[in-house]
Chain A
Amino acid sequence: MAWFRRSKENISTDSQKKDTPEGMWVKCESCGEIIHKKTLEQNLWTCSKCNFHFRIGSKEYFSFLLDEGSFKEYDKKMYSKDPLNFVDTKKYRDRVRETIKKTGLYDAVRYGSAEINKIGIVIAGMDFAFIGGSMGLVVGEKVSRAIDRALTAKKPLIVICSSGGARMMEAAYSLMQMAKTSAKLTRLSDAGIPYIAVLTDPTTGGVTASFAMLGDVILAEPGALIGFAGPRVIKQTIGKDLPPGFQRSEFLLEKGFVDAVIHRKDMKDTLTKLLGMMYSN
């Protein structure tokens, strides 16, 4: 009998290896670089080594995009009333309640008036952390109200998109939010007020097939997944692997569906220039 035989059972070896150090350090999903949280924040949540753009919420986005203290939020506490009493493996109502508790958000979008380098705008920013940034009644209604507000205040509209698609648990109601937001955008267009869509990772499904693709100008962050059908569904349908870079920002730029791919660090500058040239109130 070998002297080095393991005497205790259930000692796990490398199967539970931590891939993210706890606490102040974060690992880049793309290149594996270990980055200090402070550095990451200073870098606007992008990797200084490979430029990978981390997924961030509306709070983080607004923090570097908007002039300090200029954001005034509207309808902050609007939340889903679960119109269909939807139940899958769990009650939708509970899912919403838990997500509100967990994220401190009330649904997947926040909107308000703000300034970018002193230019007055109306802005909506989506939160992927809230049920995958899915669009249901609240997202549809808040984006619509953002459009209304841009229209009455005669201010340009910016929407930061980040969404996995429609909110299934609100079924046909969620589908109609696509028509609702698109219909409202015709009014903004008729009034000659610019609308800029900023697409971040990921922007798919019903959001892509409505307000995300209706920007007068559409900007995308590098490497963001942007599409109508999700890659998994496409792969299942066609039974083939997808080409590298498929449905990423650079692919859409190449195919002519976004105006420009802009690094997060340059977003504020680019928007300022564009707003200045596109609109004078």
Chain B
Amino acid sequence: MAKVVLDFEKPIVELEQKIEEMRKLSDNLDIADEIATLEKKVSQLRENIFSNLTRWQKVQLARHPDRPYTLDYISMIMTDFVELHGDRAFSDDKAIVAGFARLDGQPVMVIGHQKGRDTKSNLYRNFGMPQPEGYRKALRLMKLAAKLSRPIITMIDTSGAYPGIEAEERGQGEAIARNLFEMSHLPVPIIVAIIGEGASGGALGIGVGDRVLMMENTWYSVISPESCSSILWRSWDYKEQAAEALHLTARDLMEQKIIDRVIPEPPGGAHRNPQQAAAILKDTLIEELKLLQKIKPDKLVEKRIEKFAAMGEFHP
């Protein structure tokens, strides 16, 4: 059962609890029909609510603290994961995890942002906000993958690169720029999956790939709705409007031709059924990877550069 319930989820969760209670009673009473009716009602209600979510509500879902994070997905969809640490220059950034793992038996390099679930783990993970060494660790391991001809899978879930004194001292901008540059021409397949929040350069820093996929209830943009509100409206109170204006949902980005595919989530969102969400993600990744592996490396790079070059192309 969900630990955190968002406002718009409440009617659904309440009804589910009622069904649960009835089930407990049903040992003594014959109320199977009533339960069935209620279950039908709850799925209708869920469909109603979820097909009419505002963009801000989608942002809330993307941030839902019960949503699976990178390490959760890795443990649910991959085997033999060996985590590899450090950028070999400064330190190991805990906000980005990386390592070899097998997807459907096939060795891949998997890299993703990692958030924490409670105060302690969030401090350890720096709330999933990487320092430059996180991007440099990712780059080191992506180059290793390229050297060994192993495909790369990245999972994006960050509220941004960390804005701190040390991060600037060690070249946050340079670290992200370098990754954009290098990822553009690594001669192995790269699949990017946005599994939660995709905020700005901090997300894009591991987000250049042949296929960019977004899970249904995630967001991806140049700035968070809150920061956008504070800059353009000069107040924190316009986040709903900012979310609308930014067109930041999976469907929006599909329309803008910035992503390649929307990955459906189980009814009620990934946090309501992580196993099923993981199973859908796994099938999608396997399918996409098969297609990419048919393309020769130089062609792959050519197509990747063209893909990003075409984003917002002008024909004046």
Instruction: Categorize the interface residue count of chain B.
Output: 35 or more
Point out which of A178, A185, A187, A243 has the most chain B C-beta atoms below 10 A from its C-beta.
Answer: A178
A204-244 vs B: 1/0 string, CB under 8 Å?
01101111111000000000000111000110011000110
The smallest beta-carbon distance between B253 and chain A, in angstroms, is: 6
Interface residues of A: mostly helix, strand, loop or mixed?
helix
Given A77-B316, A209-B172, A228-B201, residue A182 in contact with residue B177 (CB < 8 A): yes
Query: Which residue on A lies nearest to B313, using beta carbons?
Result: A141
206-256 of chain B: CB within 8 A of chain A: 207-208, 220-223, 228, 231-233, 238, 241-242, 245-248, 252-253, 256
Contacting pair A255 B173 (CB below 8 A) = no
Tell which of A87, A186, A213, A233 touches B163, judged by Cβ atoms closer than 8 Å. Answer: A233
Q: In the complex, A209 Cα to B36 Cα: how many Å?
A: 55
B124 within 8 A of A: no
257-272 of chain A: CB within 8 A of chain B: 257
Contacting pair A179 B163 (CB below 8 A) = no
A274 within 8 A of B: no
B180 within 8 A of A: yes
147-197 of chain B: CB within 8 A of chain A: 161-165, 167-174, 176-178, 180-181, 184-185
How many A-B pairs have beta carbons closer than 8 Å: the answer is: 184
CB neighbours (8 Å) of A238 from chain B are 164-165
Query: Which residue on B lies nearest to A184, using beta carbons?
Result: B309
Q: In the complex, A138 Cα to B316 Cα: how many Å?
A: 11
Tell which of A205, A211, A229, A256 touches B167, judged by Cβ atoms closer than 8 Å. Answer: A229
Given A141-B314, A186-B181, A234-B164, residue A88 in contact with residue B245 (CB < 8 A): yes
Q: In the complex, A86 Cα to B176 Cα: how many Å?
A: 27
Contacting pair B177 A212 (CB below 8 A) = yes
Q: In the complex, A233 Cα to B163 Cα: how many Å?
A: 7
Contacting pair A88 B222 (CB below 8 A) = no
Instruction: Categorize the interface residue count of chain A.
Output: 35 or more
B305 within 8 A of A: yes
Contacting pair A208 B177 (CB below 8 A) = yes
CB neighbours (8 Å) of B252 from chain A are 172
Contacting pair A179 B308 (CB below 8 A) = yes
A131-170 vs B: 1/0 string, CB under 8 Å?
0000001101100100000000000000000000011111
The smallest beta-carbon distance between B150 and chain A, in angstroms, is: 21
Contacting pair B168 A209 (CB below 8 A) = no
Contacting pair A171 B177 (CB below 8 A) = no
Tell which of B207, B220, B312 touches A177, judged by Cβ atoms closer than 8 Å. Answer: B312
Q: In the complex, A171 Cα to B198 Cα: how many Å?
A: 12
67-105 of chain A: CB within 8 A of chain B: 75, 77-78, 83-84, 86-89
Q: In the complex, A209 Cα to B163 Cα: how many Å?
A: 13
Given A185-B181, A234-B165, A237-B164, residue A173 in contact with residue B176 (CB < 8 A): no
Contacting pair B309 A229 (CB below 8 A) = no
Query: Which residue on A lies nearest to B185, using beta carbons?
Result: A186
The smallest beta-carbon distance between B31 and chain A, in angstroms, is: 50
The smallest beta-carbon distance between A194 and chain B, in angstroms, is: 15
A113 within 8 A of B: no
Q: In the complex, A212 Cα to B162 Cα: how many Å?
A: 19
Contacting pair B172 A141 (CB below 8 A) = no
CB neighbours (8 Å) of A27 from chain B are none
Tell which of A182, A206, A213, A257 touches B222, judged by Cβ atoms closer than 8 Å. Answer: A206
CB neighbours (8 Å) of B185 from chain A are 183, 186, 190
| B residues with CB within 8 A of A | 161-165, 167-174, 176-178, 180-181, 184-185, 200-201, 204-205, 207-208, 220-223, 228, 231-233, 238, 241-242, 245-248, 252-253, 256, 258, 304-305, 308-309, 311-314, 316
10 A-B pairs with CB atoms under 8 Å apart are A87-B245, A140-B312, A171-B245, A177-B312, A179-B184, A179-B204, A180-B309, A228-B201, A234-B163, A257-B174
